């Protein structure tokens, strides 16, 4: 008789453990992973759009000779 009570309690606690801890943690982990993947995908799309917007126009070279200021020690 005690064996059946003990077995019933073990089944009850195992049921509560699984449905109150294991499954909610699994669902939360899956949801957070989806959100991180979504953010990563949006970031990659933004980066790709920025790289396609930039054209490979050569930058005009500045005249370095005119910008040089000679430094003298005092």
User: pLDDT tens across 13-71, in order?
Assistant: 999 999 999 999 999 999 999 999 999 998 888 877 777 766 555 565 665 566 667 77
With tokens 């370095």, the residue in question is: 64
Task: Quote the CA–CA distance of 27 and 49 in Å, as a whole number.
Answer: 33
Assigned domain for 63 exists: no
pLDDT at 51: 72
For Cα atoms 27, 31, 37, give the angle at the middle one, nearest 5 degrees: 145
- Domain count of the fold of the chain: 1
Assigned domain for 21 exists: yes
With tokens 């990563």, the residue in question is: 40
Task: Quote the CA–CA distance of 16 and 22 in Å, as a whole number.
Answer: 9
pLDDT at 16: 96
Assigned domain for 64 exists: no
Q: Residue 29: give the domain boundaries.
A: 1-43
Assigned domain for 1 exists: yes
pLDDT at 5: 96
Q: Where are the beta strands (DSSP E) in 9-74?
A: none
């Amino acid at each position: 008789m005690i064996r059946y009570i003990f077995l019933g309690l073990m089944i009850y606690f195992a049921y509560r453990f699984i449905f109150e801890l294991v499954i909610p943690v699994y669902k939360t982990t899956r949801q957070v992973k989806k959100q991180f993947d979504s953010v990563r995908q949006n970031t990659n799309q933004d980066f790709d759009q920025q790289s396609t917007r930039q054209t490979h126009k050569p930058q005009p070279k500045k005249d370095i000779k005119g910008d040089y200021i000679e430094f003298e020690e005092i």
